Structure 1
Amino acid sequence: MSKADWQGKHVTVAGLGVSGIPAARVLHGLGAVVTVVNDGDDERSRAQAAELEAQGIAVRLGDGDTLPPSTELVVTAPGWKPGKPLFAAAADAGVPVWGDVELAWRLRGLDGREPAPWLAVTGTNGKTTTVRMLAAILEAAGLRTAAVGNIGVSLLDAVLGEETYDVLAVELSSYQLHWAPSLRAHSGAVLNLAPDHLDWHGSMAAYAADKGRIYEGNTVACVYNAADPATEDLVREADVEEGCRAIGFTLGTPGPSQLGVVDGILVDRAFVKNRQKQAQELAEVADVDPPAPHNVANALAAAALARAFGVAPAAVRDGLRAFRPDPHRIEHVADVDGVAYVDDSKATNTHAAEASLAAYDSIVWIAGGLAKGATFDELVTGCAKRLRGVVLMGADRALIREALTRHAPEVPVVDLDRTDTGAMSEAVREAARLARPGDTVLMAPACASMDMFVNYNKRGEAFADAVRARAAESA
């Protein structure tokens, strides 16, 4: 779209927040007639509205369900559910609905620059880590890049800012993909699929379908997880450009058109001249930080996307060596009295916790919080033999306790009947009591944090503070 296309166009932006406010400002700057609608009418919303109104942008607070007259386009915050009356009204009026990702996609090249290709990543877990690994690899290859989307630099800033990029590493949530009908990435990856956000999508099938949108129109590679057949099914269902290839990644020995692991080496049998007989060494498992199985899988996915873009093997190695994980993602905090303490507060669902628990042999597990409708039988069954003990905390801890009673009755369980933030210090003390030298105390809650903490970051910080306090006592 050209700048002229936006002059006088009546656009409704749904939601004040991290995506709605920048979208409103960008559209207003392009000459659109912008109205922002918002469900909330609190003090913070009124302050945000005042700033936008001072710039000439109309804001309607406390009325996010009514479509303003003359609306020609709705641009929505990704978290707004598809069932909102606003969207039904837009459909009845024939008004398209875009998310911030769709808007950014449409605005690429608006200033006459050649748009940077997108290497896109989604999945239930591991998106942020994989995108940051990918950006590190691309940087090691000497490419101008940024980690954008649901992470780091906003997509609107990336496509409209002064800085130019050769390629973008893009993290996309299922919400964002739902509202991005015309997105067409250079290459895309779905890391894994497990039930999540089903209250938003309505069903697992709808959730998977939105994840699968990342493959639509791919030109070079659709990267899937060979250990998760549902991701390969999404590749089969995708309508891609002719010549686009399905590329798998596996923690085992790779077949042709796959990346995998052989004797501690990450190898490529997809982007080599003779993939039937040849494999290219990319890096060592030891180059991945941390070298937990699920993180090695993230590294393979990032490597596959980078190789699809033509990156040399040495850059994959150098990028992985340079990468450092974000806090609270299977982060080693300290060793105290021969016991390792690991913070994986980001494991806010059972799928993430399962991957974290699989990384250690003997574990005292700290778990619990808001279950978000999850069940824990499968998770407990899979990790029971690794558990030295369990410390439970949080609002829905009883659900995990019941699963432990059914599937791991011999494992000692400490049930902390408190939900104040100080419970974390007691949880660490109890975990230390259960642990033996050589064990790992792992906080992988398998639940959301908002019953006790503002977010998973604050929960992780509380755990780390409690561990450091214990280390100081033990010194």
Structure 2
Amino acid sequence: MGSQEVSNVDWQGKHVTVAGLGVSGIPAARVLHGLGAVVTVVNDGDDERSRAQAAELEAQGIAVRLGDGDTLPASTELIVTAPGWKPGKPLFAAAADAGVPVWGDVELAWRLRGQDGREPAPWLAVTGTNGKTTTVRMLASILEAAGLRTAAVGNIGVSLLDAVLGEETYDVLAVELSSYQLHWAPSLRAHSAAVLNLAPDHLDWHGSMEAYAADKGRIYEGNQVACVYNAADPATEDLVREADVEEGCRAIGFTLGTPGPSQLGVVDGILVDRAFVQNRQKQAQELAEVGDVNPPAPHNIANALAAAALARAFGVEPAAVRDGLRNFRPDPHRIEHVADVDGVAYVDDSKATNTHAAEASLAAYDSLVWIAGGLAKGATFDELVTGCAKRLRGVVLIGADRALIREALARHAPEVPVVDLDRTDTGAMSEAVREAARLARPGDTVLMAPACASMDMFVNYNKRGEAFADAVRARAAESV
């Protein structure tokens, strides 16, 4: 299915089971009900919140079954699942046995494009282990600078269903897609797409690194103009080679070094394009300066190059790439500079919830005190510690699985001072900042890049980042 084709399903009276109450399930149930489908929502949980959500849906005529997410309702013709539901659930095994297709919310949104008679907007899609949200928001900023009607949607928080079915019309959508969403989106065909990087993550859900990579690679299927890959991560280029794309679609690499033909890269502090120019063997187009990227950390420059490649694939002029990058402001808790106190910079990268993200963050600083720890999610830390050991002034460890990092530090950086805070209450962050300040010297950076999830101590990474920022600001107030 090409990106401008639409799928005309007769929803009237179609029996659809929606798997999961939540940010994707509830809108999907309401949309399908509004289209005339007979909708039943099944949900594993049966708590107070679920019962309140169920009551609202039932008042609209939508059936809800709580505490029974594994049984396939009779006469189901289609399942629309929340992206987080694992493929191995009995519900999906029963669906396979009965020949019932399973879609995710992204697949549903893709199928509903253009059903109101409007020309559907092409999708520029982004996935990867880390950097997805930043890249998609950079891309949207560039597209806006080009005068295009666009929105950053998908896994980024704005529902694709809202974007596809809402009153506002778009020229193009910048779409963030997780591996979960891609798993359940078999007919998605983007205009152009990028895989930023691949590192082990969510392997408990996918079952193996191979399955995880294969789901990421689905984003390239049927691409029309460009499959954008990371030249420093050969696994992403492998996914391009394996993809079945439309004739004429090109492989476009991005690199932090000098780009070859059909690549974007960096030359003398300038982001340049050797892909979307007339003579890519001899010609390079200046797009922006490294200083236009905020912040100009190496992995963020890579994000900017990927965003620029997708925008250029859509025909955006170089000046809009520069202006879009200049206009972009990163989300909170992503390498966010909080304050300078006594000559030491304090940086919040609470979003670094895995080792791959933390590695990129740590690489941005020459001398630092690292605050790390939390829930490891099965990760190991030897490679991370080996890579950053020479830049560490000291380490402050917090959280449930901090011993794993402490042991890796003992093996690979035994000379680095380590403070192990044996507490997991939220107040531990203030002590962590005090200890980090004690270890730091003027010119250093205190970086909170935990390399772990936050839920052992905090509701989410946002709350963890806020606790860090509050502790830093309190320290700044004391030093005045």
Cα separation, partners in 2 of 1:363 and 1:74, compared to 1, 3 Å: same
Distance 1:329 1:93 in 2: 45
Say if 1:340 and 1:439, in contact at 8 Å, map to a contact too.
yes
Aligned residue for 1:270, secondary structure, equals coil
The Cα of 1:228 is off from its aligned counterpart by 0.1
Distance 2:46 2:13 in 1: 28
Aligned residue for 2:187, secondary structure, equals coil
Deviation string 1:399-426 (CA, Å, 9 cap, x unpaired) is: 0000000000000000000000000000
Say if 2:121 and 2:173, in contact at 8 Å, map to a contact too.
yes
The Cα of 1:151 is off from its aligned counterpart by 1.1
Are positions 1:373 and 2:378 aligned together? yes
Q: 2:228 aligns with which of 223, 234, 247?
A: 223
Deviation string 1:42-67 (CA, Å, 9 cap, x unpaired) is: 00000000000000000000000000
Deviation string 1:105-125 (CA, Å, 9 cap, x unpaired) is: 000000011100000000000
Distance 1:284 1:68 in 2: 57
Distance 2:171 2:157 in 1: 17
RMSD: 0.7
Of stretches 254-263 and 146-155 in structure 1, the one that deviates more from structure 2 is 146-155
The Cα of 1:331 is off from its aligned counterpart by 0.2
The Cα of 1:3 is off from its aligned counterpart by 6.9
Number of equivalenced pairs: 475
Deviation string 1:75-96 (CA, Å, 9 cap, x unpaired) is: 0000000000000000000000
Summarize the alignment of residues 85-104 of structure 1 with structure 2, pairs less than 5 Å apart: 85-104=90-109
Cα separation, partners in 2 of 1:27 and 1:384, compared to 1, 3 Å: same
The Cα of 1:2 is off from its aligned counterpart by 6.8
Say if 2:7 and 2:111, in contact at 8 Å, map to a contact too.
no
Say if 2:123 and 2:172, in contact at 8 Å, map to a contact too.
yes
Cα separation, partners in 2 of 1:457 and 1:22, compared to 1, 3 Å: same
Say if 2:8 and 2:111, in contact at 8 Å, map to a contact too.
no
Aligned residue for 1:321, secondary structure, equals helix
Are positions 1:421 and 2:426 aligned together? yes
Aligned residue for 2:10, secondary structure, equals helix
TM-score (norm: length of structure 2): 0.99
Distance 1:448 1:192 in 2: 19
Say if 1:348 and 1:447, in contact at 8 Å, map to a contact too.
yes
Distance 1:377 1:2 in 2: 49
Distance 1:198 1:275 in 2: 39
Say if 1:3 and 1:30, in contact at 8 Å, map to a contact too.
no
Aligned residue for 1:6, secondary structure, equals coil
Aligned residue for 2:65, secondary structure, equals strand
Q: 2:53 aligns with which of 32, 48, 51?
A: 48
The Cα of 1:395 is off from its aligned counterpart by 0.2
Q: 1:260 aligns with which of 242, 256, 265?
A: 265
Of stretches 151-160 and 420-429 in structure 1, the one that deviates more from structure 2 is 151-160
Aligned residue for 2:16, secondary structure, equals strand
Deviation string 1:178-215 (CA, Å, 9 cap, x unpaired) is: 00000000000000000000000000000000000000
Deviation string 1:311-354 (CA, Å, 9 cap, x unpaired) is: 00000000000000000000000000000000000000000000
Aligned residue for 1:374, secondary structure, equals coil
Q: Structure 1 runs of 4+ off > 3 angstroms?
A: 1-4
The Cα of 1:245 is off from its aligned counterpart by 0.1
Distance 1:415 1:157 in 2: 46
Distance 2:201 2:147 in 1: 37
**Long gaps (5+) in structure 2:** 1-5
Aligned residue for 2:9, secondary structure, equals helix
Deviation string 1:250-294 (CA, Å, 9 cap, x unpaired) is: 000000000000000000000000000000000000000000000
Of stretches 160-169 and 150-159 in structure 1, the one that deviates more from structure 2 is 150-159
The Cα of 1:4 is off from its aligned counterpart by 6.6
Are positions 1:137 and 2:142 aligned together? yes
Summarize the alignment of residues 179-190 of structure 1 with structure 2, pairs less than 5 Å apart: 179-190=184-195
Deviation string 1:125-156 (CA, Å, 9 cap, x unpaired) is: 00000000000000000000000000142100
Of stretches 4-13 and 78-87 in structure 1, the one that deviates more from structure 2 is 4-13
Distance 1:392 1:161 in 2: 46
Say if 2:70 and 2:89, in contact at 8 Å, map to a contact too.
yes
Are positions 1:109 and 2:114 aligned together? yes
Aligned residue for 2:79, secondary structure, equals strand
Deviation string 1:22-54 (CA, Å, 9 cap, x unpaired) is: 000000000000000000000000000000000
TM-score (norm: length of structure 1): 1.00
Distance 2:365 2:91 in 1: 48
The Cα of 1:239 is off from its aligned counterpart by 0.3
Aligned residue for 1:328, secondary structure, equals coil
Aligned residue for 2:185, secondary structure, equals coil
Which residue matches 1:58? 63
Say if 2:192 and 2:310, in contact at 8 Å, map to a contact too.
yes
Say if 1:362 and 1:440, in contact at 8 Å, map to a contact too.
yes
Q: 1:456 aligns with which of 447, 454, 461?
A: 461
Distance 2:341 2:299 in 1: 25
